Copies of this chain bind each other. A is one copy, B any other.
Amino acid sequence: MKKQKLIQHEEKTIGTEQKIIAAAINIFQAKGYAATRTRDIAEAAGINLALLNYYFRSKEKLFEIILLHTMDEFMQAMVITMNDEKTSLEKKVENVVLSYHSLLTEKPGIPLFVLNELRQGNHAVMLKAMGLKKIFNESVFATQYQEGIKKGKYAKRPVLWLITNIMSLTIFPFMASPLLQMIGDTDYKEYDRFIKSRRDYVTKWILQSLKP
């Protein structure tokens, strides 16, 4: 009976904590740190402002949790596919494009959120971002790319070149979607189709650019 109570207690705790985190993710990602008011998060979570501080001590602490979580989400989309021993580099490019598309279709606000905090000089983001260097340079992806160059299969360019192409063509259309929607005079649904229709084309286009 004591255990029963404890479990119930913990479940309830986790429930509220998760509700706050879920709300915080939405609002922080949509508006950034400075433009977000903790009151709004509390309201969106259906709880009181005081309770938010009870769980997370401060706005900054809560933010850092959301920030790290978001960075992980963003990086995970590529880390796994980049280190798959079983796939070719060509297949990896395809998979990265695919996984970014599915992530960003669901959460298009992530890149702007991350880059914005990076520009503000947020220390936590910078540390996380540092990790990307290792991830790339020590990845199976990087090795395969270097191999391809040695064999004369790919043009001799830094890995950064390829990564820039991939990220530019996959991420930017999501970041700039409000702008591009206006230019193209499309609504949300139509723009979504537009982006989807680009997906395979983008992959092929990138692969084609690898040739010497």
Contact partners of A35 in chain B: CB under 8 A: 32-35, 120
How close is A182's CB to chain B, nearest CB, in angstroms?
5
Q: How many interface residues does chain A have, given as a range?
A: 35 or more
Contact of A133 among B120, B126, B165, B185 (CB under 8 A): B185
Report whether A132 and B175 are in contact in the complex, using a CB–CB cutoff of 8 Å: no
Q: Does A116 contact B (CB under 8 A)?
A: yes
Q: Does A129 contact B (CB under 8 A)?
A: yes
Report whether A136 and B30 are in contact in the complex, using a CB–CB cutoff of 8 Å: no
Report whether A133 and B169 are in contact in the complex, using a CB–CB cutoff of 8 Å: no
Q: Does A119 contact B (CB under 8 A)?
A: yes
How close is A78's CB to chain B, nearest CB, in angstroms?
11
Q: Give the distance in Å from the alpha carbon of A185 to the alpha carbon of B52 in the complex.
A: 39
Report whether B30 and A182 are in contact in the complex, using a CB–CB cutoff of 8 Å: no
Report whether B161 and A167 are in contact in the complex, using a CB–CB cutoff of 8 Å: no
Residue in chain B with minimal CB distance to A118 = B178
Contact partners of A172 in chain B: CB under 8 A: 164, 167-168, 171-172, 175
Which residues A142-195 have CB closer than 8 A to chain B? 158-161, 163-165, 167-169, 171-173, 175-176, 178-180, 182-186, 194
Report whether A163 and B178 are in contact in the complex, using a CB–CB cutoff of 8 Å: no
Contact with B along A32-68 (1 / 0, CB 8 A): 1111000000000000000000000000000000000
Q: A34-B35, A120-B35 are in contact. Are A158 and B173 (CB under 8 A)?
A: no
Contact partners of A158 in chain B: CB under 8 A: 184, 194
**A-B residue pairs, 5 tightest by C-beta:** A160-B184, A34-B35, A34-B34, A168-B172, A172-B172
Binding site for B on A (CB under 8 A): 30-35, 109, 112, 114-116, 118-120, 126, 129-130, 132-133, 136-137, 158-161, 163-165, 167-169, 171-173, 175-176, 178-180, 182-186, 194, 198, 205, 209
Extra A-B contacts (4), CB below 8 Å, given A112-B116, A115-B178: A32-B34, A160-B194, A163-B183, A167-B172
